[in-house]
Amino acid sequence: MAAVEPNTQQSWGSRLSEAPLQTGLELIAGAIKPLHKEPAPPPQPAMGFFTDTSICIGCKACEVACKQWNQLPATNPTWSGTSYDNTGQLGGTTWRHVQFIEQIGLRQADTTAAKGARPALPLLDTRVAQAMSNGTIPQMPPGTTLPFFNSDRWLMHSDVCKHCANAPCQEACPTGAIIRTEFDTVYVQQDICNGCGYCIVNCPFGVIARDEQGDHQAHKCTLCYDRLKDGMEPACAKACPTKSIQFGPVAELKERARARVGELHEHGVSEAQLYGVDDNILDGGLNSFFLLLDRPEVYNLPENPIRPMNNVAPASLWTIVAATIIGLMGILFFRE
């Protein structure tokens, strides 16, 4: 008959009788082990994205690569009737979204450069006129065809989490689920997130969202944190065929972005501008910034987003003032 294994209590009891000091120290160490805090990883240079929308072709390879690497479910394509973009927007299971901005017919509607119309493209317009005059491009009636060199255009914008230097979602998270990694990126710890949604309403870019069909927790781009730890670039930047999405140290990318916008200005694309490079957005700038060919509002980007943390002190002050006034009124009322 097999011998019966002594239970844990009997085992610890026999060990205490034999070596009480050593066994007691082991018991104490086991009790405080759950409270042990691992040292933080050594800080690395801040990493981010520079998305050059002037060379984005709208292939959506970044969307597919993001979903494949992060094992996100596919989004059912829909026909909105207003755009060929069948993804729609960022969401809990869509962390990269290539936005289509079809600017068709704006040239004919705006010969006076009214607000909101497409800005002039001197270099392109000159070439189009020359090509039409020498017969390279047929002079077709407007609206019957869309040749490659045309005054109408589609703006492509691969949108993603901005990984703000001062992230409103992190400031609003009540559980501490949203942290900054050693690469200065904004990361959501899924085992701590309780799905309260405070981060969603505080994000001025509409990036973070709750997966209502899955775990009902907040999700967004992680900047492929698992790949960064192994020295690999994010999946979307790796898959981009035109290098519209560039990944690297933020300081280096900002220099590259300023050089690129200067190059476009030299070629007559005067409307080219950078968004999120300077520190005037959210009191620190964005670690994922863009080169745009139109006003930020055209790309559904707020020109001057509000940082919710800046409203805490004034709101608290007015709360104290209101409570004081109500308290004094109550005292006067009951005295009478």
pLDDT in tens, 211-221: 988 899 999 99
Give me the pLDDT at residue 332, please: 83
Are 218 and 195 spatial neighbours (Cβ–Cβ below 8 Å)? yes
Are 108 and 150 spatial neighbours (Cβ–Cβ below 8 Å)? no
Give me the pLDDT at residue 218, please: 96
Q: At what angle do helices 8-18 and 20-32 cross, to 10 degrees?
A: 130
Give me the pLDDT at residue 76, please: 80
Are 256 and 48 spatial neighbours (Cβ–Cβ below 8 Å)? no
Greatest distance between any 2 Cα atoms in the chain: 103
Residue 203: name the closest of 189, 214, 188 by CA: 188
pLDDT in tens, 229-276: 999 999 999 999 999 999 999 999 999 999 999 999 999 899 999 999
CA atoms within 13 A on the CB side of 311: 9
Are 218 and 16 spatial neighbours (Cβ–Cβ below 8 Å)? no
Are 65 and 98 spatial neighbours (Cβ–Cβ below 8 Å)? no
Residue 189: name the closest of 197, 230, 181 by CA: 181
Q: Name the pairing type of β-strands 288-292 and 47-52.
A: parallel
Fold classified for 47-110+147-305 = Alpha-Beta Plaits (3.30.70)
Give me the pLDDT at residue 102, please: 86
For the chain, the residue count is 336
Return all residues near 134 (Cβ < 8 A) that are at least 6 apart: none
Round to whole Å and give the CA distance between 74 and 93. 8
Q: How many other C-beta atoms are found inside a 10 Å radius of the C-beta of residue 216?
A: 13
Q: Where are the domains of the chain?
A: 47-110+147-305, 307-336
Q: Which of the residues in the chain have pLDDT under 70? A: 1-21, 23-24, 35-36, 105-128, 132, 135-151, 336
Round to whole Å and give the CA distance between 121 and 149. 12
What b-and-e string marks burial along 291-306, b requiring 16 or more CB atoms within 10 Å of the CB? bbbbebeebebeeebe
Give me the pLDDT at residue 64, please: 95
Phi-psi category of residue 115: left, alpha or beta, with phi > 0 → left and psi -120 to 50 → alpha: beta
Give me the pLDDT at residue 137, please: 58
Round to whole Å and give the CA distance between 3 and 173. 55
